[in-house]
Amino acid sequence: MNPPGGAPIFHSLTITASDATRNALARRVAINSFMLLVGGMFIGTHVLAFFGLSLPVVKVAGGLLVIATSWKMLNSDEMPKAESVPESLWTQELASKKAFYPLAFPLTVGPGSISVAITLGAGVRVPNVPLPLSMVAAVVGLALAALTVYLCNRFAGVLIRLLGDTGTTVMQRMTSFILLCIGVQILWDGVSGLLLQWQAH
């Protein structure tokens, strides 16, 4: 996830909405993102068990996906254009639809984020830590991520005005690079796990 880098995109796609509608959208996007991540964390482990997939394999696939996404963001010179929706057409029904697609998925929580949530759910059991405590800690972490999404989207206009066009571009590039590094770390963890399994055999 890249909430600071996604804030300008959120602002661009909701530029014609009123402040009240944009604030409500920011809240709904955060809630939808949280539900998507929690669902991936708790249901994804059962999907892995059903298909017989190991955690290192998911880490490798998720790492590659995060790397590909962040690399595309890092080298992209384009931003989604503002939608030509008059303010009068921003009804509650339209806002509810767009709060899920495309604002929550895939712009905020994409396949890479969901794969990381699945990885988190599969590895939530920490040695010497009770399972309920580990699960609560993971959910709290996802809630904090969703809160970050809300704050970044809620104050996207303020952030853009403070940074300007150049500052916004620099911020997007920096957050994309950090996301790229996270993807490499996830990939390395998966490769290390596969190597350990290979040595054990």
pLDDT at residue number 84 = 47
- Report d(CA 28, CA 126) in Å as an integer: 32
- pTM, two decimal places: 0.77
DSSP 109: S
Give Rg (Cα) of the chain: 18
Mean pLDDT over each residue of the chain, to the nearest integer: 84
Alpha-carbon 73 to chain mean position: 13
Residue 50 has pLDDT above 70, yes or no: yes
Short-list 71, 140, 149, CA closest to 109 = 149
At 71-123, the pLDDT tens digits run: 887 887 655 444 445 666 677 777 888 899 888 987 888 777 887 888 778 76
Residue 126 has pLDDT above 80, yes or no: no
Q: Which helix (H) or strand (E) holds 103?
A: none
Contact 201, 95 (CB under 8 A): no
